[in-house]
Amino acid sequence: MWKPIKKRIGYCLNPLTHVGNLEKAVNDLNDTIDDIKEKIQAGEYEGKRPSAQATRWIEKAESIKDESYAIKNRYVARSVHVFGCSWNCRSNYRISRAATKKLDDMYEHKKRIPQDGSMFCLLPTAGRELPLPPNIVGQNDYKDKIIGYVKQGTMSIIGICGMGGSGKTTLLKQLNNIFSCSAEMYEFDHVIYVEVGQQQDMEGIQKDIASQLCLVLGRDENTTSRSVSLHNFLKERKFLLLIDDLWQTLDLEKVGIPQGYGKIGPPNKQMIIIATRLQQVIDGMKGHDHMIVLQSLKFNEAWNLFEANAGVRITNSTQIIGHAKIIVEKCGGLPLALKIVGQAMSSKESEHEWKYTVMLIEQSQFYKVPDAESSLYAVLYVSYYHLPDERTKQCFLLSALIINELCPVANMITHWMGHGYLDEDDDIENNYLRGHAVVGCLKRACLLEEHPRRRKFLAMHDRIRDLALWIVETKQGDGSNKTWLVHDRRKLKDPKEWSTAGRICLAWDKKNNVTIPDSYSCPHLLTLSLQTNKQIHGVPSGFFSTATSLMYLDLSRTNITELPTDIGALGNLQHLNLSETPIQSLPMELQLLKALRYLYLRFTKHLDTVPDGTISALSMLKVLDLYRSGSCPKEKARAYIMELESLASLQILGFTVADLDSLCMVFNLPKVSLRFLRIQETEGLKCLVASPSLISKMRAQQLERLGLDGMGSLEELVIGEADVDSDWCFQSLDRIELFRLPNLERIILKGVVPHVCFPILRMLEISGCHKIKTLPWIKKLPCLEELYLIDCNSLLELESDDEEGTMSSTIASFPRLKLLGLSKIRNLHNICDGITALPCLQRLLVYKCPMLARLPSKLLNIDCMLLILGEQDWWEKLGWDDTAVKSIMSSSFIELPSNFEGDIEEVYNALFC
């Protein structure tokens, strides 16, 4: 009993010893804190960020240090009596005991000192790096000046102003890449790059910003609620917002961009940089501090840029160099003009070609142009003039009709085909190849460009689009060929203008209330594209009777429910697109469209009435897409197929069937390439075998999209057969959809190997398949980029041990997977294991997967930073083999909003950016 009594007597009689020991330990702890801070400071200089573990250790150590100082202050402030001693035993006891306990806490905390390996975390880039042109001149001074402004301020708006093609976008992209990749130096949590364009779409701007912040907005949120979500997310974060191509003042408060904050953290917290052609736009923005006006390039800079694009050989020819200098002067120091004209002249080797180009420019300058900036169209016209043939030139001009912000390459080629510019022969495959060749030619001429953030999408510079419209207005002869009505900034379209127009494209026009006039005749109209205008619910009766020249009609993604009977007057119509509309019936008069070659009815889910004989009457039809079109009972499908058999010109088909007999009939259609197939709502089918016995080698290789939906009795899906030919595969299959198959238990690959059978499969979607337990074959797909698994109750894991032992454990699982969405899978406990797992994963969404208690340990092997979206409660309960890994990954986690419901559409929107 003496030891504890002695200890407590010591607390009373000797507080100085206990406080002295604590003071020595505090000094040692302080040295340790300083040492760690020095390492962190050195790491930050090298572009690293301290891990949450290191930050929390320092915070706890500082707290212990402060509490120790408080104990010492209590000791010093106590009452003392004879010989400087205090005989207040109770006070001495409390101080000594507190000092001893704090000393124990200090020793325990020092055991958890962060090691060098866990001192820093993988830092997610603050923004997305954007591609830049190879040769940039004359922008270093502007760039350095703006960086200086950014270093100075905490909240400001910086304007970049200059004429179209002067390099504003290039400068803005350089700033984006500097601040995105070196975010630690400038203290930004987020760098956001937004292109606004001529039509200011508030919803699109808000969604683009949210996507870059990995902020999932609710499905039904309006402008105000989206603004609140963005504001609350950003108000205490350090961000840089880059706004490109602004044509009118933007209400930042309405968007949800906080202003006037900056109460915490270092300077440079919240900044906005705006690029615009119009200085008054910057002047109209509240709080703008600085204005940068881009000047024309000096001659030496202009010459260097032109030479880099035209080829250095021009300096070796005294005959050519004189003409080249004239051309450079005519470009007026405009980088875009120098780049495009330089590319156009890169293949010209004779003096006569250069001399003729100079003459072409000088003569073109006498054409009347619509505004002052357009004086350079005569120079840019050179690139159009030197395109290889008339077809390529016309395809370029038509591109200006449909490119607003971005356009898929496939859609662009379909657009050209629908206008008849690629129909040199009757072979659709050759036309597609020809279209890709035209795209390549226009990209090399810098008249089209690959979209900076969307692979396989095309974009067009505003100035180039204006060039195309200028060429149409000034050089296309007389009459309606010169009148194109397109969605742009110039003016609202008067309905009277429809009567003289040759081509009208008012697609994606969210700003103006586009309607089809019912009181004007349109005798010259060749093209009418109104897609995505949801306010259009129908076509006025009699309109088509006044537009009998119409060749191209696109009403996709509108809200039309029926077509007027006078559509039969469109005897010249070649292209009709009604996809993704609520249309319920087609009129009998559709049979009169004898010139129709392309008919798109994809995703017309409400289409129930197609009069008998309508399809067979369209004798010139080359492409028919009925993928997910209406309810398709057995009798209706067979009737359609029998009509298809009579179409001698039909080459490409998308179709939906509901029974095996119809499926066999579709596979046996002669000379038709089945590209898109959906099998839905079959009754009594327990096993579906996709094998050479059903699908010929040719059919299997042509199929691009396969969907199974609403087959309640299906239990087994077998792909292949025992003696399958080695070259039988789905070599073109890009996407598989398995929806509402509640009794499907197994997907079996028989006689085929996944990576051989599906060599280019890019997207796999499985939803409402409640009995599937594992999907071992999907980890071997070499090109799988997107995987969505929704509402699959029995799914235990995405992969299992390879039964045949053919897959080496050293081969990466999911080698190219970028997006993985897991929603409402209550029994899922494992994603994947392996030596290397998910090396390319960029985004992972996990929602209502309570059994998924651990993530793959190899996620940190990825080169790009991973973003994880999920519920906060799930994230906090995750188990980790190494707490340092959790600390590193914590900066990658984004909480899903409370109103997130986890259906497939919401998962798409959350993951896709």
pLDDT tens for 800-850 read 654 444 444 445 678 889 899 999 999 998 887 655 567 888 889 999 999
pLDDT of 331 > 90? The answer is no
183 vs 332: which has the higher pLDDT: 332
**Residue-level pLDDT at 848:** 94
Q: Are 151 and 268 in contact (CB under 8 A)?
A: yes
Average pLDDT, the chain: 82
Highest mean pLDDT among 11-25, 67-81, 311-325, 716-730: 716-730
**Residue-level pLDDT at 89:** 66
Q: Which domains does the chain possess? A: 1-121 (no CATH), 139-260+267-293 (3.40.50.300), 387-478 (1.10.10.10), 482-631 (3.80.10.10), 762-912 (no CATH)
**Residue-level pLDDT at 767:** 95
Averaged over 433-440, what is the pLDDT? 91
Mind listing the pLDDT tens digit for each residue in 110-139? Answer: 877 876 655 665 555 677 778 888 888 888
Phi, psi of 145 (to 5 degrees): -65, -45
**Residue-level pLDDT at 478:** 60
Highest mean pLDDT among 218-227, 400-409, 721-730: 721-730
pLDDT of 321 > 70? The answer is yes
Number of residues that make up the chain: 913
**Residue-level pLDDT at 765:** 96
Longest dimension (CA), the chain: 119
Averaged over 641-666, what is the pLDDT? 89
**Residue-level pLDDT at 14:** 66
Averaged over 2-23, what is the pLDDT? 66
H or E segment and range at residue 11: helix 2-13
- CB neighbours of residue 263 within 10 Å: 9
**Residue-level pLDDT at 268:** 45
Assign 62 to helix, strand or coil.
Answer: helix
Averaged over 2-28, what is the pLDDT? 70
pLDDT of 84 > 50? The answer is no
In percent, the amount of the chain with pLDDT more than 90 equals 25
Q: Are 825 and 789 in contact (CB under 8 A)?
A: yes
Rounded to the nearest 5 degrees, what angle is found at the Cα of 911, between the Cα atoms of 905 and 913?
105
> Which strands, in side-by-side order, build the sheet including 190-197?
190-197, 239-246, 270-276, 155-161, 288-293
Task: Give the confidence band of 893 by pLDDT, cuts at 50, 70, 90.
Answer: confident
**Residue-level pLDDT at 267:** 43
Q: Are 11 and 88 in contact (CB under 8 A)?
A: no
**Angle, in degrees to the nearest 10, between helices 318-330 and 335-345:** 150
Mind listing the pLDDT tens digit for each residue in 47-63? Answer: 566 665 677 788 888 88
Residue 865 DSSP one-character state: P
pLDDT of 432 > 60? The answer is yes
Parallel, antiparallel, or unpaired: how do β-strands 49-50 and 120-121 relate? antiparallel
Task: Give the confidence band of 788 by pLDDT, cuts at 50, 70, 90.
Answer: very high
301 vs 100: which has the higher pLDDT: 301
pLDDT of 186 > 70? The answer is no
Which one-letter amino acid corresponds to residue 896? L
Mind listing the pLDDT tens digit for each residue in 135-158? Answer: 888 888 988 888 888 877 656 788
pLDDT of 365 > 60? The answer is no
Task: Give the confidence band of 604 by pLDDT, cuts at 50, 70, 90.
Answer: very high
Averaged over 778-802, what is the pLDDT? 85
496 vs 545: which has the higher pLDDT: 545
776 vs 513: which has the higher pLDDT: 776
Task: Give the confidence band of 336 by pLDDT, cuts at 50, 70, 90.
Answer: confident
Phi, psi of 668 (to 5 degrees): -95, 5
* Contact residues for 682 (Cβ-Cβ < 8 A; gap 6+): 658, 659, 660, 711, 713, 714
Distance CA(177)–CA(179), nearest Å, equals 6
Averaged over 432-442, what is the pLDDT? 91
Averaged over 654-664, what is the pLDDT? 87
Parallel, antiparallel, or unpaired: how do β-strands 407-408 and 503-505 relate? unpaired
Distance CA(531)–CA(558), nearest Å, equals 6
Phi, psi of 57 (to 5 degrees): -65, -45
